[in-house]
Structure 1
Amino acid sequence: MTLDLSKHPCFNDAVRHQFGRIHLPVAPACNIQCNFCDRRFNCVNESRPGVTASVLSPHQALSYLQQAVERDPRIAVVGIAGPGDPMANVEATMTTLRLTREHYPEMLLCVATNGLNLAPQADELAQLNVSHVTLTVNAVRPEIGQHIYAWVRDGRQVHRGVHGAALLWERQREAIRQLKALDVVVKINTILIPGVNDQHIEAIAQTMRDLGADLLNCIPMYPVENTPLGQLPEPSPQQVVDARLQAGQYLPLMHHCTRCRADASGLLGEALSDQQQTALQQAAAQPLVPTQTRPCVAVATLEGMLVNQHLGEAHRLAVYRQQDDDFELVETRRTPVAGGGSERWQQLADMLHDCRALLVSSAGAAPVEVLRRAGIRVVMMEGLIEEGLEAVFAGSELRAPLRRDHRCGAGASCAGDGMGCM
């Protein structure tokens, strides 16, 4: 099917009041840490990239999309833009795109990414007829990029400083080349950061033109509290005008960016309505595969009041279900004997066939992945069982004090190491 590319409101200002887009928030993880970014998944009062009210699985996202399209036929574009980076969540992103293309062959598909892990996916993106890809390129000189990125994580290896910025730019350059060879429309987002890259915008635009990019969006940095660059002033209107005049010598510019949330829906500039927020939370409350019947939630607990056991140390799991406005303990189930490797976790997944989620204080990557593939979401938290159950059954995010986020307590001065605290 030939797609009408003119319907994309982010790439065609003339249709922004006619056609809408929906962002499916299926990509929570990120593989770089920008010094201006703080991703918060549960804030409904902010309108900026990296923010969403809920995170969805691919099948939850499809269910949410189906309801959204029925409710708002103006939606012409399905995008994936976070709240982390789509290509740091390759399986979730590509599965979502495949499902969307299967059910909506006429829909425009787009992805917004930092580009670090984009090139290996370029061929399939083109095969899925993903027509538009946006890359955020904030520097084409690593000595400047080192001040923008705290770290860059490539697989299990973390790069910092000039080396991290150089690796990111190398991957971005290769990704743009591959996408243009496949006739994908490429937009460049560049964050204008005073005192960091404000004298570098022209070089970025010229380099992007030489690589074949189609459009450039120069966005003023939005200072975010508790980030390394959070104390910098937002660029003045004149600084923005000057930067865009420089960039406009080389590429057409996007002037109507609304700095969308990762769960944005509708026409550009429209706030997420209460109805949309409710639909998003309802989708997140469904089993990871909504067509499955999973009425229960399992809990790793020592005494039956708190979520306070590591999955590997739990010999029994308490299984709950929602009963009217309360939660009922259905039974306790013995976990498979330790020492069985991946087979142990597959047995656990089979044992929890009726559970949509598992609440634990901590869990290793291997069981989390096995359970996820079986349609069971692993939620790491510490606190009252009831609060965890309320969040899962409501499809909302846990309150910050309950979440196990492994922070070291150093506050804004800590940029992390890209691997999480040990």
Structure 2
Amino acid sequence: MSTPMISLESLASRTSLDQLLATSKSGGCTSSSCGASTNPDDFDQAIWAKIKNHPCYSEEAHHYFARMHVAVAPACNIQCNYCNRKYDCANESRPGVVSEKLTPDQAVRKVIAVANEVPQLSVLGIAGPGDACYDWTKTKATFERIAMEIHDIKLCISTNGLALPDHVAELVEMNIDHVTITINMVDPEIGARIYPWIYYDNRRYTGIEAARILHERQMLGLEMLTAHGILTKVNSVMIPGVNDEHLIEVNKWVKERGAFLHNVMPLISDPAHGTFYGLTGQRGPRALELKALQDRLEGGAKLMRHCRQCRADAVGLLGDDRGQEFTLDQIPGEITYDARKREAYREVVARERSDHVTAKNGATEIVKAARGGSLQVAVATKGGGRINEHFGHAKEFQVYEASPKGITYVAHRKVEQYCLGGEGEEATLDGIIAALEGIDVVLCAKIGECPRNQLMEAGVRATDAYGYDYIETAIGALYAAEFGVEPLAGTA
């Protein structure tokens, strides 16, 4: 059933965010459907203003707001054993791959097209597919032109840090207040196992010497960003047997130097990707191994747990990449920015977020008042903080933990879509069940009897009884039922 068109004039008066999300994907688009605390009182108001609509810097914001990456920086100055930058990889979802590389002029056209059709868009980033600071001329030209066209979009940059110190002053001048640095080590001996070579100061370095230079430049860049008040997110790739234990030390170092967030991501090492680690059999961590390490890091630098390890040309909400809708051949040669959809969307979201916070607080009270144990809940969602995705359509599940400490977002689990063409695939369901290791309950908008029964046989309950409720409201009610706690009035 197709989604009816909704006029721009009516968008701001709508109270249903689901309707507005559906609207953003009609009228010319073909697809259907971290981090910091969600409480503004926990932050200086200037910092809260920077992160509240940033889907990577605020876990709560990622339910409502989208990011976009433009692939304008293909050159790189280091080689990582987990990286193989690939071109024209529409079906591959990992950092460093793109379907098309862009010039700054092409990037401007693409950003305007996305901004006109994706009202959730709040952030534009340059994350390669090489290094944005090393390929600086293209990066700077792109940011300058975008800033002239779209004044209310946040600008972000992602870098390995080797060339970062050379450009901090320009980042400040351009009002770029979010930077991501990938830091996988603070011990050059471990770094030598991750980086075969770097290219610095017109010379190639290898081994421990290369890792030492990279480490020193990364720490310098981080300290400079902190001194200028730029929020920094540190990405670290968890490589079992190489740096997994060492990341505890990395977390301490980056916290001491002012990193705002630390994002520990799993190594992606499929041999088909052609990386050194993939071809030599280096495995990535299991979901529970990653969670265990993240749990050990609690109390250090703030953790981001909702990262999707985005492509260098990703578009849309985290977990819902719409990049293939906006290839250059689908974008008009002449295009003008129209801010109306984004303005209307932000008005709706402001009201929805207020209601969501009230519901979340009520659910948290229920859980904290209980004397129960821990409950691991996987949620199928399309955004908006609600349980609004069919089990068979889910490409990922967002994982929450409920305990006497409250309700916490802990991870996401990517899966293959179970229903294609109206039929479920048995092999796919087996993979989903494996991905749901350690999960007690699955919440979704709808689920058929067959997958529900097979999940139950595997020890995972699944229910659509809370379809379209706020996620935390449903988890609170579920927790109350599980541990015999009466829900508080007005929170069910």
After TM superposition, is the score higher than 0.5?
Answer: yes
Structure 2 residue runs without a partner (length 5+): 1-45, 337-492
Q: Answer yes or no: is 1:102 the counterpart of 2:152.
A: no
Residues 276-295 of structure 1, C-alpha deviation per residue, up to 9 Å, x if partnerless?
A: 2xx33456x97xx999xxxx
Distance in 1 (alpha carbons) for counterparts of 2:301 and 2:102: 35
Q: Which of these residues, 136, 147, 167, is aligned with residue 213 of structure 2?
A: 167
Match of 2:67 among 15, 21, 25: 21
User: Closer, same or farther in 2 for the Cα pair 1:4/1:148, shift >3 Å?
Assistant: closer
CA positional deviation for 1:91: 0.2
- 2:156 aligned counterpart, secondary structure: strand
Partner of 1:250 in structure 2?
Answer: 300
Aligned to 2:112: 66
CA RMSD of aligned residues (A): 2.0
The answer to whether the aligner puts 1:199 opposite 2:241 as a matched pair is: no
> In the alignment, what sits opposite 2:314?
264
1:382 aligns with none
Please, which of 269, 291, 297 is the counterpart of residue 223 of structure 1?
Answer: 269
Q: After TM superposition, which residue ranges in structure 1, 4 or more long, deviate above 6 angstroms? A: none
Deviations 1:93-143 (A, max 9, x none): 011111112222221110111000011111111121111100000000000
1:60–1:290: 8 Å Cα contact kept in structure 2? no
Deviation at 1:247, TM superposition (A): 2.2
User: Would you say 1:41 and 2:87 are equivalent positions?
Assistant: yes
Aligned partner of 2:227: which letter? A
Other-structure match for 1:124 = 170
Corresponding residue of 1:275: 325
Paired AA for residue 138 in structure 1? N
| Local SS of the residue matching 1:260 | coil
Q: Which residue of 2 aligns with 1:156?
A: 202
TM-score (norm 2): 0.56
Where 1:149 maps in the other structure, the secondary structure is coil
Corresponding residue for residue 139 of structure 1: 185
Q: Which of 117, 121, 128 is equivalent to 1:82?
A: 128
Shift of 1:147: 0.3
Measure, in 1, the Cα distance between the counterparts of 2:153 and 2:324: 25
What is the aligned partner in structure 1 of residue 157 from structure 2?
A: 111
The secondary structure found in structure 2 opposite 1:133 is: strand
Within 5 Å, which residues of 2 pair with 1:363-382? Answer: none
Aligned: 1:238 with 2:284: no
Kindly state the Cα deviation for residue 232 of structure 1 after the two structures are TM-superposed: 1.1
Unaligned runs of 5+ in 1: 292-422
Does structure 1 conserve the Cα–Cα contact (< 8 Å) formed by 2:73 and 2:138? yes
Deviation per CA, 1:224-248, whole angstroms, max 9, x where unpaired?
A: 4232211111112232122212322
Give the structure with the higher percent helix.
2
1:129-162 C-alpha deviation (Å, 9 max, x unpaired): 1111000000000000000001001142001000
Structure 2: distance between partners of 1:281 and 1:137: 36
Does the CA-based 8 Å contact 2:112-2:335 persist in structure 1?
no
* TM-superposed deviation, 1:216: 0.4
Matched length: 285
Q: What is the percent sequence identity of the aligned residues? A: 37
How far off its partner does 1:176 sit? 0.4
Q: CA deviation at 1:199?
A: 1.4
Q: 1:68: how far off?
A: 0.9
Scaled by the length of structure 1, what TM-score is found? 0.65
Distance 1:21 1:111 in 2: 12
